[in-house]
Chains A and B, each alone.
Chain A
Amino acid sequence: MSEIMIEVAALRKQFGDHVVLRSVDLKVGRGEVVALIGPSGSGKSTLLRCLNLLVVPDGGAVRVGGKSFRFGAGASQPGNRALAGFRAATGMVFQQFNLFPHRTALENVMEGPLVVRRMARAGAEALARGLLAKVGLADKAEQYPSRLSGGQKQRVAIARALAMQPAVMLFDEATSALDPELVGEVLGVMQSLAAEGMTMVIVTHEIAFAREVADRVVFLRDGVIVEDGPARQVIDSPREEATRAFLAHFHRQREG
Protein backbone atom coordinates (compact mmCIF):
# COMPACT_ATOMS: atom_id res chain seq x y z
CA MET A 1 0.00 0.00 0.00
CA SER A 2 1.13 3.54 -0.74
CA GLU A 3 1.24 6.35 1.82
CA ILE A 4 -1.15 5.83 4.75
CA MET A 5 -3.56 8.77 5.08
CA ILE A 6 -5.72 7.52 7.93
CA GLU A 7 -4.49 5.35 10.74
CA VAL A 8 -6.56 4.22 13.66
CA ALA A 9 -5.08 2.04 16.38
CA ALA A 10 -6.75 0.25 19.30
CA LEU A 11 -9.66 2.66 19.14
CA ARG A 12 -12.15 2.39 22.01
CA LYS A 13 -15.38 4.23 22.63
CA GLN A 14 -18.26 3.72 25.01
CA PHE A 15 -21.35 5.73 25.80
CA GLY A 16 -22.10 5.12 29.47
CA ASP A 17 -22.03 1.34 29.93
CA HIS A 18 -22.58 0.69 26.25
CA VAL A 19 -19.32 -0.20 24.50
CA VAL A 20 -19.60 0.92 20.87
CA LEU A 21 -16.04 0.35 19.63
CA ARG A 22 -13.95 -2.34 21.29
CA SER A 23 -10.52 -2.14 19.77
CA VAL A 24 -10.52 -1.05 16.20
CA ASP A 25 -7.47 -0.88 13.94
CA LEU A 26 -7.82 0.57 10.48
CA LYS A 27 -5.48 1.95 7.85
CA VAL A 28 -6.54 3.78 4.72
CA GLY A 29 -4.02 4.57 1.99
CA ARG A 30 -3.92 7.73 -0.09
CA GLY A 31 -6.57 7.65 -2.80
CA GLU A 32 -8.19 4.58 -1.34
CA VAL A 33 -11.97 4.28 -1.02
CA VAL A 34 -13.09 2.24 1.97
CA ALA A 35 -16.72 1.34 2.61
CA LEU A 36 -17.80 0.60 6.19
CA ILE A 37 -20.77 -1.73 6.28
CA GLY A 38 -22.55 -3.51 9.07
CA PRO A 39 -25.87 -3.78 10.88
CA SER A 40 -27.21 -0.74 12.73
CA GLY A 41 -25.56 -0.41 16.11
CA SER A 42 -22.39 -2.03 14.81
CA GLY A 43 -20.40 1.14 15.54
CA LYS A 44 -19.65 2.08 11.93
CA SER A 45 -21.02 5.64 12.25
CA THR A 46 -19.21 6.12 15.56
CA LEU A 47 -15.99 4.90 13.96
CA LEU A 48 -16.44 7.41 11.14
CA ARG A 49 -17.12 10.21 13.62
CA CYS A 50 -13.99 9.29 15.53
CA LEU A 51 -12.00 9.92 12.35
CA ASN A 52 -12.71 13.66 12.57
CA LEU A 53 -13.17 13.59 16.35
CA LEU A 54 -16.79 14.69 16.29
CA VAL A 55 -16.87 11.78 18.70
CA VAL A 56 -13.86 11.86 21.00
CA PRO A 57 -12.56 8.32 21.57
CA ASP A 58 -11.93 6.92 25.05
CA GLY A 59 -8.74 5.19 24.06
CA GLY A 60 -6.37 4.51 21.18
CA ALA A 61 -4.91 6.76 18.52
CA VAL A 62 -6.20 8.54 15.43
CA ARG A 63 -4.03 9.97 12.71
CA VAL A 64 -5.14 11.78 9.55
CA GLY A 65 -2.38 13.06 7.29
CA GLY A 66 0.30 14.57 9.49
CA LYS A 67 -1.86 15.20 12.55
CA SER A 68 -2.41 12.62 15.25
CA PHE A 69 -4.00 12.37 18.67
CA ARG A 70 -3.74 9.80 21.45
CA PHE A 71 -6.61 9.12 23.83
CA GLY A 72 -7.04 7.37 27.12
CA ALA A 73 -4.98 7.14 30.29
CA GLY A 74 -2.11 9.60 30.35
CA ALA A 75 -3.21 11.47 27.23
CA SER A 76 -4.57 14.98 27.71
CA GLN A 77 -7.84 15.95 26.04
CA PRO A 78 -7.16 18.04 22.93
CA GLY A 79 -8.38 21.67 23.17
CA ASN A 80 -10.98 23.29 20.97
CA ARG A 81 -8.40 24.90 18.67
CA ALA A 82 -6.49 21.68 18.17
CA LEU A 83 -9.73 19.83 17.42
CA ALA A 84 -10.83 22.52 14.96
CA GLY A 85 -7.50 22.41 13.16
CA PHE A 86 -7.72 18.63 12.91
CA ARG A 87 -11.30 18.66 11.60
CA ALA A 88 -10.49 21.30 8.97
CA ALA A 89 -8.37 18.68 7.20
CA THR A 90 -11.25 16.21 6.88
CA GLY A 91 -14.49 16.74 4.99
CA MET A 92 -17.69 15.20 6.31
CA VAL A 93 -21.02 14.61 4.65
CA PHE A 94 -24.00 13.80 6.85
CA GLN A 95 -27.09 11.65 6.39
CA GLN A 96 -29.36 14.66 7.08
CA PHE A 97 -27.24 17.07 4.95
CA ASN A 98 -27.11 19.64 7.80
CA LEU A 99 -26.91 22.53 5.37
CA PHE A 100 -27.09 25.94 7.05
CA PRO A 101 -30.69 27.01 6.30
CA HIS A 102 -30.00 30.72 6.79
CA ARG A 103 -27.37 30.74 4.04
CA THR A 104 -27.72 30.26 0.29
CA ALA A 105 -26.09 27.28 -1.41
CA LEU A 106 -23.16 29.51 -2.37
CA GLU A 107 -22.79 30.90 1.16
CA ASN A 108 -22.94 27.39 2.59
CA VAL A 109 -19.94 26.43 0.47
CA MET A 110 -18.11 29.70 1.24
CA GLU A 111 -18.59 29.41 5.00
CA GLY A 112 -15.60 27.14 5.71
CA PRO A 113 -13.06 29.03 3.55
CA LEU A 114 -14.26 32.39 4.93
CA VAL A 115 -14.42 31.54 8.61
CA VAL A 116 -11.88 28.78 9.08
CA ARG A 117 -9.33 29.53 6.34
CA ARG A 118 -9.92 33.31 6.59
CA MET A 119 -9.89 33.49 2.82
CA ALA A 120 -10.84 36.78 1.11
CA ARG A 121 -14.48 36.95 0.02
CA ALA A 122 -13.73 37.08 -3.72
CA GLY A 123 -11.44 34.05 -3.54
CA ALA A 124 -13.92 32.07 -1.45
CA GLU A 125 -16.72 32.88 -3.86
CA ALA A 126 -14.69 31.80 -6.90
CA LEU A 127 -13.78 28.55 -5.13
CA ALA A 128 -17.39 27.94 -4.09
CA ARG A 129 -18.81 28.62 -7.57
CA GLY A 130 -16.28 26.24 -9.05
CA LEU A 131 -17.28 23.48 -6.61
CA LEU A 132 -21.01 24.03 -7.15
CA ALA A 133 -20.37 23.68 -10.89
CA LYS A 134 -18.44 20.50 -10.19
CA VAL A 135 -21.42 18.93 -8.41
CA GLY A 136 -23.72 20.18 -11.20
CA LEU A 137 -25.43 22.97 -9.25
CA ALA A 138 -23.94 26.17 -10.70
CA ASP A 139 -27.45 27.44 -11.40
CA LYS A 140 -28.61 26.88 -7.79
CA ALA A 141 -25.93 29.04 -6.16
CA GLU A 142 -28.34 31.74 -4.96
CA GLN A 143 -31.02 29.33 -3.70
CA TYR A 144 -31.66 28.70 -0.03
CA PRO A 145 -31.57 25.04 1.05
CA SER A 146 -35.34 24.97 1.61
CA ARG A 147 -35.79 25.38 -2.16
CA LEU A 148 -33.54 22.43 -3.05
CA SER A 149 -34.38 18.75 -3.40
CA GLY A 150 -32.71 16.23 -1.09
CA GLY A 151 -30.26 15.18 -3.77
CA GLN A 152 -29.36 18.80 -4.51
CA LYS A 153 -28.92 19.52 -0.80
CA GLN A 154 -26.55 16.61 -0.43
CA ARG A 155 -24.53 17.72 -3.44
CA VAL A 156 -24.23 21.21 -1.93
CA ALA A 157 -23.11 19.55 1.31
CA ILE A 158 -20.42 17.66 -0.61
CA ALA A 159 -19.28 20.93 -2.23
CA ARG A 160 -19.23 22.57 1.20
CA ALA A 161 -16.97 19.83 2.56
CA LEU A 162 -14.69 19.96 -0.51
CA ALA A 163 -14.27 23.73 -0.11
CA MET A 164 -11.96 23.07 2.83
CA GLN A 165 -9.72 21.13 0.41
CA PRO A 166 -9.66 18.21 2.80
CA ALA A 167 -7.13 15.41 2.71
CA VAL A 168 -9.89 12.83 3.21
CA MET A 169 -13.67 12.77 2.80
CA LEU A 170 -15.99 11.00 5.22
CA PHE A 171 -19.53 10.05 4.20
CA ASP A 172 -22.02 9.13 6.91
CA GLU A 173 -24.87 7.31 5.17
CA ALA A 174 -24.97 10.12 2.65
CA THR A 175 -27.84 8.64 0.64
CA SER A 176 -29.96 7.04 3.38
CA ALA A 177 -32.31 10.03 3.75
CA LEU A 178 -32.89 10.42 0.01
CA ASP A 179 -35.85 9.36 -2.08
CA PRO A 180 -34.76 6.40 -4.24
CA GLU A 181 -34.83 8.40 -7.48
CA LEU A 182 -32.41 10.98 -6.02
CA VAL A 183 -29.79 8.51 -4.77
CA GLY A 184 -28.13 8.20 -8.16
CA GLU A 185 -27.11 11.85 -8.52
CA VAL A 186 -25.33 11.82 -5.15
CA LEU A 187 -23.63 8.48 -5.77
CA GLY A 188 -22.52 9.87 -9.15
CA VAL A 189 -20.73 12.78 -7.49
CA MET A 190 -19.11 10.42 -4.98
CA GLN A 191 -17.99 8.11 -7.78
CA SER A 192 -16.32 10.94 -9.69
CA LEU A 193 -14.56 12.06 -6.50
CA ALA A 194 -13.24 8.55 -6.07
CA ALA A 195 -12.09 8.53 -9.67
CA GLU A 196 -10.14 11.76 -9.03
CA GLY A 197 -8.16 9.97 -6.36
CA MET A 198 -9.83 11.38 -3.23
CA THR A 199 -9.26 9.32 -0.10
CA MET A 200 -12.73 8.36 1.11
CA VAL A 201 -14.34 6.48 3.96
CA ILE A 202 -17.98 5.74 3.33
CA VAL A 203 -20.54 4.39 5.77
CA THR A 204 -23.23 3.01 3.52
CA HIS A 205 -26.11 0.63 3.02
CA GLU A 206 -25.65 0.80 -0.75
CA ILE A 207 -23.93 -2.56 -1.08
CA ALA A 208 -23.95 -2.47 -4.88
CA PHE A 209 -22.30 0.95 -4.82
CA ALA A 210 -19.71 -0.21 -2.29
CA ARG A 211 -18.90 -3.18 -4.51
CA GLU A 212 -18.62 -0.94 -7.55
CA VAL A 213 -16.71 2.05 -6.20
CA ALA A 214 -14.88 1.02 -3.03
CA ASP A 215 -11.44 -0.54 -3.11
CA ARG A 216 -12.00 -2.17 0.25
CA VAL A 217 -15.02 -3.13 2.28
CA VAL A 218 -14.81 -3.33 6.05
CA PHE A 219 -17.56 -5.21 7.86
CA LEU A 220 -18.22 -4.22 11.48
CA ARG A 221 -20.34 -5.93 14.05
CA ASP A 222 -20.69 -5.16 17.77
CA GLY A 223 -17.83 -2.69 17.71
CA VAL A 224 -15.20 -4.89 16.11
CA ILE A 225 -13.99 -5.31 12.55
CA VAL A 226 -15.11 -8.77 11.49
CA GLU A 227 -13.85 -8.73 7.95
CA ASP A 228 -11.69 -6.38 5.91
CA GLY A 229 -10.74 -7.04 2.30
CA PRO A 230 -11.06 -6.13 -1.37
CA ALA A 231 -14.60 -4.93 -2.08
CA ARG A 232 -15.65 -7.63 -4.52
CA GLN A 233 -14.18 -10.41 -2.49
CA VAL A 234 -15.90 -9.34 0.76
CA ILE A 235 -19.25 -8.84 -0.92
CA ASP A 236 -19.27 -11.72 -3.40
CA SER A 237 -17.54 -14.36 -1.29
CA PRO A 238 -17.24 -13.31 2.35
CA ARG A 239 -15.04 -15.47 4.51
CA GLU A 240 -16.87 -14.86 7.78
CA GLU A 241 -20.25 -16.33 8.62
CA ALA A 242 -21.40 -12.99 10.17
CA THR A 243 -20.62 -11.11 6.96
CA ARG A 244 -22.44 -13.72 4.91
CA ALA A 245 -25.51 -13.48 7.17
CA PHE A 246 -25.54 -9.68 6.93
CA LEU A 247 -25.10 -9.61 3.18
CA ALA A 248 -27.80 -12.25 2.71
CA HIS A 249 -30.40 -9.55 3.43
CA PHE A 250 -29.16 -7.45 0.58
CA HIS A 251 -28.83 -10.30 -1.90
CA ARG A 252 -32.39 -11.34 -1.10
CA GLN A 253 -33.56 -7.76 -1.64
CA ARG A 254 -31.82 -7.57 -4.99
CA GLU A 255 -33.36 -10.79 -6.20
CA GLY A 256 -36.80 -9.90 -4.81
Chain B
Amino acid sequence: MYQWDFSILWSYRWLFLNGLWVTLAFTAAIVVLGLVVGLVSGLLRLSSIAPLRWLSQAYVEVFRCTPILVQLVWFYYALPILAGIEMTATTAAVLALSLYGGAFYAEIIRGGINSIESGQTEAALALGMTPAQSMRRIVLPQALKRMVPPLMNQSIIQLKNTSLVSVLAVPDLLYQGQAAAHDSYRPLEIYTLIAVLYFAVLFPLTLLVGRLERRLARAD
Protein backbone atom coordinates (compact mmCIF):
# COMPACT_ATOMS: atom_id res chain seq x y z
CA MET B 1 0.00 0.00 0.00
CA TYR B 2 1.29 3.41 -0.99
CA GLN B 3 2.20 5.64 1.93
CA TRP B 4 0.89 9.14 1.16
CA ASP B 5 3.06 11.91 2.51
CA PHE B 6 1.68 15.33 1.68
CA SER B 7 4.07 17.06 4.07
CA ILE B 8 6.80 17.08 1.41
CA LEU B 9 4.70 19.53 -0.64
CA TRP B 10 5.38 22.40 1.74
CA SER B 11 9.04 22.68 0.78
CA TYR B 12 8.00 23.26 -2.87
CA ARG B 13 5.42 25.94 -2.07
CA TRP B 14 7.29 28.76 -3.82
CA LEU B 15 7.73 26.63 -6.91
CA PHE B 16 4.00 25.92 -7.07
CA LEU B 17 3.06 29.53 -6.42
CA ASN B 18 5.46 30.63 -9.10
CA GLY B 19 4.02 28.09 -11.54
CA LEU B 20 0.45 29.14 -10.67
CA TRP B 21 1.37 32.76 -11.28
CA VAL B 22 2.83 31.92 -14.72
CA THR B 23 -0.28 29.90 -15.58
CA LEU B 24 -2.60 32.75 -14.58
CA ALA B 25 -0.50 35.39 -16.36
CA PHE B 26 -0.46 33.21 -19.48
CA THR B 27 -4.21 32.77 -19.29
CA ALA B 28 -4.76 36.50 -18.93
CA ALA B 29 -2.54 37.23 -21.92
CA ILE B 30 -4.04 34.62 -24.25
CA VAL B 31 -7.61 35.46 -23.25
CA VAL B 32 -7.13 39.17 -23.97
CA LEU B 33 -5.19 38.63 -27.19
CA GLY B 34 -7.53 35.84 -28.23
CA LEU B 35 -10.57 38.07 -27.72
CA VAL B 36 -9.04 40.81 -29.85
CA VAL B 37 -8.20 38.33 -32.62
CA GLY B 38 -11.62 36.71 -32.24
CA LEU B 39 -13.49 40.00 -32.43
CA VAL B 40 -11.62 41.10 -35.55
CA SER B 41 -12.04 37.70 -37.17
CA GLY B 42 -15.71 37.46 -36.15
CA LEU B 43 -16.44 40.90 -37.65
CA LEU B 44 -14.49 40.11 -40.83
CA ARG B 45 -16.60 36.97 -41.17
CA LEU B 46 -19.68 39.24 -41.35
CA SER B 47 -18.03 41.70 -43.76
CA SER B 48 -19.69 42.53 -47.06
CA ILE B 49 -16.30 42.02 -48.78
CA ALA B 50 -16.04 38.37 -49.78
CA PRO B 51 -12.22 37.93 -49.65
CA LEU B 52 -12.21 39.18 -46.04
CA ARG B 53 -14.86 36.60 -45.18
CA TRP B 54 -12.82 33.83 -46.82
CA LEU B 55 -9.66 34.91 -45.02
CA SER B 56 -11.41 34.85 -41.67
CA GLN B 57 -13.00 31.49 -42.33
CA ALA B 58 -9.69 29.98 -43.46
CA TYR B 59 -8.03 31.18 -40.26
CA VAL B 60 -10.80 29.77 -38.06
CA GLU B 61 -10.82 26.39 -39.77
CA VAL B 62 -7.03 25.96 -39.74
CA PHE B 63 -6.80 26.63 -36.03
CA ARG B 64 -9.92 24.72 -35.06
CA CYS B 65 -9.02 21.65 -37.07
CA THR B 66 -5.48 21.07 -35.85
CA PRO B 67 -4.56 20.00 -32.30
CA ILE B 68 -3.29 22.75 -30.05
CA LEU B 69 -0.29 20.63 -29.07
CA VAL B 70 0.73 20.38 -32.72
CA GLN B 71 0.30 24.14 -33.12
CA LEU B 72 2.48 24.86 -30.09
CA VAL B 73 5.29 22.66 -31.34
CA TRP B 74 4.92 23.99 -34.87
CA PHE B 75 5.06 27.63 -33.76
CA TYR B 76 8.15 26.97 -31.67
CA TYR B 77 10.15 24.77 -34.04
CA ALA B 78 8.85 25.34 -37.58
CA LEU B 79 7.76 28.97 -37.74
CA PRO B 80 11.16 30.45 -36.68
CA ILE B 81 12.87 28.51 -39.48
CA LEU B 82 10.26 29.41 -42.10
CA ALA B 83 10.05 33.08 -41.10
CA GLY B 84 13.71 33.41 -40.17
CA ILE B 85 12.97 34.94 -36.77
CA GLU B 86 14.10 34.01 -33.29
CA MET B 87 11.25 33.26 -30.95
CA THR B 88 11.33 32.46 -27.24
CA ALA B 89 9.21 29.59 -26.00
CA THR B 90 6.97 32.12 -24.24
CA THR B 91 6.36 34.12 -27.41
CA ALA B 92 5.62 30.99 -29.42
CA ALA B 93 3.27 29.72 -26.72
CA VAL B 94 1.38 33.01 -26.39
CA LEU B 95 1.07 33.27 -30.16
CA ALA B 96 -0.18 29.73 -30.68
CA LEU B 97 -2.63 29.75 -27.77
CA SER B 98 -4.01 33.21 -28.64
CA LEU B 99 -4.61 32.24 -32.25
CA TYR B 100 -6.11 28.91 -31.23
CA GLY B 101 -8.45 30.58 -28.74
CA GLY B 102 -9.20 33.40 -31.18
CA ALA B 103 -10.61 30.90 -33.68
CA PHE B 104 -13.15 29.67 -31.12
CA TYR B 105 -13.90 33.17 -29.84
CA ALA B 106 -14.51 34.27 -33.44
CA GLU B 107 -17.25 31.67 -33.86
CA ILE B 108 -18.88 32.67 -30.57
CA ILE B 109 -18.77 36.36 -31.50
CA ARG B 110 -20.13 35.75 -34.99
CA GLY B 111 -22.94 33.64 -33.56
CA GLY B 112 -23.73 36.28 -30.93
CA ILE B 113 -23.94 39.05 -33.52
CA ASN B 114 -26.07 36.92 -35.83
CA SER B 115 -28.47 36.21 -32.98
CA ILE B 116 -29.52 39.88 -32.77
CA GLU B 117 -32.70 40.45 -34.79
CA SER B 118 -32.15 42.28 -38.09
CA GLY B 119 -34.78 44.81 -36.99
CA GLN B 120 -32.26 46.29 -34.58
CA THR B 121 -29.83 47.08 -37.38
CA GLU B 122 -32.67 48.36 -39.55
CA ALA B 123 -33.85 50.73 -36.81
CA ALA B 124 -30.32 52.02 -36.28
CA LEU B 125 -29.74 52.53 -40.02
CA ALA B 126 -33.14 54.21 -40.36
CA LEU B 127 -32.06 56.76 -37.75
CA GLY B 128 -29.13 57.62 -39.99
CA MET B 129 -26.37 55.63 -38.33
CA THR B 130 -23.61 54.16 -40.44
CA PRO B 131 -23.24 50.36 -40.31
CA ALA B 132 -20.20 50.80 -38.04
CA GLN B 133 -22.14 52.99 -35.59
CA SER B 134 -25.04 50.57 -35.61
CA MET B 135 -22.68 47.69 -34.83
CA ARG B 136 -20.90 49.54 -32.03
CA ARG B 137 -23.86 51.22 -30.34
CA ILE B 138 -26.76 48.86 -30.96
CA VAL B 139 -25.78 45.35 -32.03
CA LEU B 140 -22.54 44.62 -30.14
CA PRO B 141 -23.75 45.72 -26.68
CA GLN B 142 -26.73 43.39 -26.98
CA ALA B 143 -24.73 40.57 -28.55
CA LEU B 144 -22.00 40.81 -25.91
CA LYS B 145 -24.48 40.05 -23.17
CA ARG B 146 -25.45 36.83 -24.91
CA MET B 147 -21.82 35.97 -25.63
CA VAL B 148 -20.52 36.31 -22.08
CA PRO B 149 -21.30 32.77 -20.87
CA PRO B 150 -19.84 30.96 -23.93
CA LEU B 151 -16.84 33.30 -23.98
CA MET B 152 -16.18 32.54 -20.32
CA ASN B 153 -16.52 28.82 -20.99
CA GLN B 154 -13.99 29.08 -23.78
CA SER B 155 -11.66 31.04 -21.49
CA ILE B 156 -11.86 28.28 -18.90
CA ILE B 157 -10.81 25.81 -21.59
CA GLN B 158 -7.99 28.21 -22.47
CA LEU B 159 -6.74 28.15 -18.88
CA LYS B 160 -6.58 24.37 -19.04
CA ASN B 161 -4.83 24.53 -22.41
CA THR B 162 -2.00 26.56 -20.86
CA SER B 163 -0.83 23.33 -19.21
CA LEU B 164 0.41 22.30 -22.67
CA VAL B 165 3.06 25.02 -22.72
CA SER B 166 5.12 22.87 -20.37
CA VAL B 167 6.22 20.88 -23.45
CA LEU B 168 8.10 24.00 -24.57
CA ALA B 169 9.70 24.27 -21.09
CA VAL B 170 7.67 27.34 -20.17
CA PRO B 171 7.65 27.23 -16.34
CA ASP B 172 3.89 27.07 -15.74
CA LEU B 173 2.15 25.20 -12.92
CA LEU B 174 2.41 21.79 -14.59
CA TYR B 175 6.06 22.29 -15.59
CA GLN B 176 7.01 23.25 -12.04
CA GLY B 177 5.08 20.24 -10.80
CA GLN B 178 7.08 17.98 -13.08
CA ALA B 179 10.28 19.53 -11.73
CA ALA B 180 9.15 18.98 -8.15
CA ALA B 181 8.12 15.41 -8.94
CA HIS B 182 11.51 14.57 -10.37
CA ASP B 183 13.21 16.19 -7.41
CA SER B 184 11.14 14.58 -4.65
CA TYR B 185 10.24 11.19 -6.19
CA ARG B 186 6.71 11.91 -4.91
CA PRO B 187 4.75 12.31 -8.19
CA LEU B 188 1.43 11.11 -6.72
CA GLU B 189 1.27 13.81 -4.07
CA ILE B 190 2.56 16.46 -6.42
CA TYR B 191 0.22 15.75 -9.35
CA THR B 192 -2.69 15.46 -6.93
CA LEU B 193 -1.89 18.93 -5.65
CA ILE B 194 -1.55 20.25 -9.21
CA ALA B 195 -4.99 18.89 -10.06
CA VAL B 196 -6.43 20.42 -6.88
CA LEU B 197 -4.91 23.80 -7.72
CA TYR B 198 -6.39 23.84 -11.25
CA PHE B 199 -9.73 22.79 -9.82
CA ALA B 200 -9.62 25.45 -7.11
CA VAL B 201 -9.15 28.15 -9.73
CA LEU B 202 -11.63 26.82 -12.29
CA PHE B 203 -14.54 25.58 -10.17
CA PRO B 204 -15.56 29.04 -8.87
CA LEU B 205 -15.37 30.32 -12.45
CA THR B 206 -17.68 27.61 -13.77
CA LEU B 207 -20.12 28.40 -10.96
CA LEU B 208 -20.02 32.04 -12.02
CA VAL B 209 -20.73 31.13 -15.66
CA GLY B 210 -23.67 29.02 -14.54
CA ARG B 211 -25.09 31.91 -12.57
CA LEU B 212 -24.65 34.31 -15.47
CA GLU B 213 -26.39 31.87 -17.82
CA ARG B 214 -29.37 31.56 -15.50
CA ARG B 215 -29.60 35.31 -15.06
CA LEU B 216 -29.55 35.89 -18.81
CA ALA B 217 -32.18 33.20 -19.33
CA ARG B 218 -34.44 35.04 -16.90
CA ALA B 219 -33.80 38.40 -18.56
CA ASP B 220 -34.90 37.14 -21.99
Decide yes or no whether B138 CB sits under 8 A from chain A.
yes
Of chain A, the residue at the smallest CB distance from B120 is: A98
Segment of B4-12, B75-83, B122-130 in the binding face:
B122-130
Chain A nearest CB from B157 CB (Å) reads: 28
Segment 134-158 of A: residues with Cβ below 8 Å from B: 157
Q: Is the CB of B138 within 8 A of A94?
A: no
Q: Is the CB of A94 within 8 A of B119?
A: yes
Complex-state Cα separation, A115 to B142, whole angstroms: 17
The answer to whether A87 and B125 touch (CB under 8 A), given A81-B130, A101-B142, A115-B137, is yes
Chain A nearest CB from B17 CB (Å) reads: 41
Q: Is the CB of A160 within 8 A of B128?
A: no
Q: Is the CB of B128 within 8 A of A85?
A: yes
Of chain A, the residue at the smallest CB distance from B126 is: A92
Total A-B Cβ pairs within 8 A: 69
Chain B nearest CB from A116 CB (Å) reads: 4
Q: B130 to chain A: which residues have CB within 8 Å?
A: 80-81, 84
Q: B122 to chain A: which residues have CB within 8 Å?
A: 54, 94, 98
Interface of B, helix, strand, loop or mixed by DSSP: helix
How many B residues are at the interface, by size bracket? 20 to 34
Q: Is the CB of B123 within 8 A of A94?
A: yes
Q: Is the CB of B125 within 8 A of A116?
A: no
Q: Is the CB of B142 within 8 A of A102?
A: yes
- Number of residues of chain A lying within 8 A (CB) of chain B: 28
Q: Is the CB of A161 within 8 A of B126?
A: yes
Q: B119 to chain A: which residues have CB within 8 Å?
A: 94, 96, 98
Chain B nearest CB from A112 CB (Å) reads: 4
Complex-state Cα separation, A54 to B129, whole angstroms: 12
Of chain B, the residue at the smallest CB distance from A114 is: B137
Of chain B, the residue at the smallest CB distance from A117 is: B128
Q: B51 to chain A: which residues have CB within 8 Å?
A: none
Complex-state Cα separation, A100 to B139, whole angstroms: 9
Decide yes or no whether A111 CB sits under 8 A from chain B.
yes
Segment 84-98 of A: residues with Cβ below 8 Å from B: 84-85, 87-92, 94, 96, 98
Decide yes or no whether B141 CB sits under 8 A from chain A.
yes
Of chain B, the residue at the smallest CB distance from A108 is: B123
A-B contacts, 19 of them at CB < 8 A, read: A52-B126, A84-B125, A87-B125, A87-B128, A94-B122, A94-B123, A94-B126, A96-B119, A98-B119, A98-B120, A99-B123, A100-B142, A112-B127, A112-B128, A112-B129, A115-B127, A116-B129, A161-B126, A164-B128
Chain B: residues with CB nearer than 8 A to chain A? 117, 119-120, 122-133, 137-138, 141-142, 145
Chain A: residues with CB nearer than 8 A to chain B? 52, 54, 80-81, 83-85, 87-92, 94, 96, 98-102, 111-112, 115-116, 157, 160-161, 164
Q: Which 7 A-B pairs have the closest CB atoms?
A: A88-B128, A98-B123, A98-B119, A112-B127, A92-B126, A116-B128, A84-B130
